[in-house]
Chains A and B, each alone.
Chain A
Amino acid sequence: MFLYNHVGCRPRTKTDTLELISTQSIIKHFGKTPVINEVSIQINQGEIYGFLGLNGAGKTTLIRILLGMIKPNSGHVKLFGKKVTANFNQWNDIGYLVETPYSYPNLSVTENLNVYYQLRQLNNPKVIEDIIGKLKLTPYANTKAKHLSLGNQQRLGLAKALIHKPKLLILDEPINGLDPEGIVEVRELIKELVHTGSTVFLSSHILGEISKVANRIAIIHQGKLIKELTTNELTSQLVKKILVKTNENQRAVTHLITSNYQAALNENDEIEITGSNAISNPEHISKLLVEKGLPPKQVSLFTEDLEMYFLRTIRS
């Protein structure tokens, strides 16, 4: 038997694993301004869920709603199958990083982590040393937070989110401020966490990064969830076309159309050929054009990138 999620996305079987995050028709207004409009998402155990949106789209507000920091006007949130209310008591299964991570400026990295060690009521001091090592903060363990670089402050924020080895990680723009090496490290860390059974909700406006790690991607725009799809579905929805240049493009287009190809000239005076037949057999196009005395000067496969897909989606 199949069940269908909202926005017509993938079918789920009843045997699916536990839903770690579930929101039901969340609506939130700040005054008269609608911020979140009927957002329902379900995230299963072991998933990396990418949450995409422009600045101000409602990503952080939804994250704060998930964490019980903001109360929705209607709808509800369930984490680990339990409603998030004042009595929700599974916060030690959840790690989070919301917006820019800040720390107590006069405390060192170790002391900052010790504050959260206490507040999370942990009982193995070794976890502080472990997480410092894992986030490559060992050289800065005794450095005051106010003297850390932006990248290391971000690492400290991640260390606070990960110190208690959470089952669910909610990360809002986790790679902000990181250098390329740091970005790769965080990506590997997220993959490693999921490999060990964690689930990750990852919000970002950096689309390329999301596409590299997420199993499923949702796009939020002006408070509404406008798309939710798996990365495989995303790949199949990206526009692909063959771009060709010849000495007589107009004549080449005529020949291609006569041969049942969907061809047209674009604004760069290139021939755009779409259709699965063309995409899977571009050599046939070259052969045809050579036979017609129009040998191609250039044949290339164009694949729409995630930025273009995102913009196309939010504008449609």
Chain B
Amino acid sequence: MNRQLHALKAELLKNKYSNILWVTFIAFALAPIMGGVFMVIMRNPDALAKAGGLSAKAQVMNFSADWNSYFGILTQAVGVGGVLIFGFVASWVFGREYSDGTAKDLLALPTSRTSILNAKFIVYATWCLALVLSNLVVGLLIGVVLQISTPDNIVVSTHLSNYFLTTGLTILLGTPIAFFAIWGKGYLAPLGFVALTLVFAQVIAATGYGYYFPWSVPGLFSGAGGEYKAQLDVTSYTILILTSFAGYVATLTYWNYADQTK
């Protein structure tokens, strides 16, 4: 436990001045901001008439100017956009040691390689949680500023539960990205993998088989796929959890046992 704490302190220190930290928060905050823009358009008939494309999009999404829609957009941002942003975070946290040239300095230390990786996984999960909390705060602020009618407690608790469950499902998908970062020794392989999974998640979800594809599951769960959410069952979640577990084991095994030549 003490070793894990040392590894965690070291990992937090490394990220102290990371510019990428703020980039991810700004990029992710686009979702509540866009939600706010939709809200303004929906409540203003003149703006609705002028904002052709945007208003059409808002209507396709059955978007209305209330907390129900706004929570929905925030949750979908996590389930779909999170695959990209969380993937970006995982690529950075795990790939940076190779890009910075510091990986070799982590391999022969009293703090085990496994503890170092676990610290990275903790930082990755915390970072992602901070991102979704930040979006929630930004969303609430925008909601208050726009004076959206106060929702009842049941609506809030249902949406919050969906929001954080979607977050959990998306975070779990970070482990295979960690493997690709360590196997590919840098950012390129994991970012390529993230791009591929994002495309496949959309295509496979559109064909109606998304409930068997782990990277489609958070999006479907968030409601981004509309009625397809009903197709999610125990098998869907089991596949996602097994994918995450396989990614974790592969990352640890590769980091501990493969030849480290970089």
Contacts and interface: CB of A to CB of B under 8 A. Distances in A.
B2 A121 contact: yes
A118 B9 contact: yes
A151 B111 CA distance: 29
Interface stretch (A86-94, A203-211, A257-265): A86-94
Contacts of A71: 257, 259
B111 A120 contact: yes
Nearest to B101: A102
Contact of A92 (B2, B16, B110): B110
Given A64-B260, A102-B100, A116 B105 contact: yes
Contacts of B257: 71, 86
B146 interface: no
Interface string B1-28: 0110011011001101111000000000
A17 to B, nearest CB: 23
B116 interface: yes
Interface in B17-54: 17-19
Contact of A119 (B10, B100, B256, B259): B10
Contacts of B9: 118
Contacts of B101: 100, 102
A298 B261 CA distance: 54
B154 to A, nearest CB: 46
A189 interface: no
A120 B260 contact: no
Given A64-B260, A69-B259, A114-B13, A105 B100 contact: yes
A115 B14 contact: yes
A118 B118 CA distance: 15
B260 A69 contact: yes
B102 interface: yes
Nearest to A69: B260
A61 B260 CA distance: 10
A119 B16 contact: no
B102 A121 contact: no
A67 B106 CA distance: 11
A193 B6 CA distance: 27
A41 interface: no
Question: What band does the interface of chain B fall in when counting residues whose beta carbon is under 8 Å from A?
Answer: 20 to 34
Contacts of A61: 261
A115 B12 CA distance: 9
A71 B10 CA distance: 27
Query: For chain A, what secondary structure do more than half of its interface residues adopt (helix, strand, loop), or is it mixed?
Result: loop
A125 to B, nearest CB: 12
A66 B111 CA distance: 18
Interface in A93-137: 94, 96, 98-100, 102-107, 111, 114-116, 118-121
Nearest to B3: A121
B109 A91 contact: yes
Given A69-B260, A100-B101, A107 B17 contact: yes
B57 interface: no
A290 interface: no
B116 A119 contact: yes
A68 interface: yes
A116 B257 CA distance: 22
Contacts of A67: 107-108
A104 B260 contact: no
Contact of A91 (B19, B100, B108): B108
A239 interface: no
Nearest to B256: A86
B114 to A, nearest CB: 9
Contacts of A89: 110
B16 A107 contact: yes
A241 interface: no
Contacts of A104: 14, 100, 102
Interface in B212-262: 256-257, 259-261
A89 B3 CA distance: 13
Nearest to B13: A115
A70 interface: yes
A107 B13 CA distance: 8
A160 interface: yes
A102 B99 CA distance: 10
B16 A111 contact: yes
B1 to A, nearest CB: 12
A286 B109 CA distance: 63
A102 B111 CA distance: 19
A118 B261 contact: no
Contacts of B13: 107, 111, 114-115, 118
Interface of A: 30, 61, 64, 67-71, 86, 89, 91-92, 94, 96, 98-100, 102-107, 111, 114-116, 118-121, 160
Those 8 A-B pairs whose CB atoms lie nearest each other, nearest first: A102-B101, A118-B10, A106-B17, A69-B260, A67-B108, A70-B259, A118-B9, A119-B111
Given A89-B110, A105-B100, A106-B16, 6 more contacts: A61-B261, A69-B107, A118-B7, A119-B109, A120-B109, A121-B2
17 contacts: A64-B104, A69-B107, A69-B259, A69-B260, A86-B257, A102-B100, A107-B17, A111-B13, A116-B105, A118-B6, A118-B13, A118-B111, A119-B106, A120-B109, A121-B3, A121-B6, A121-B111
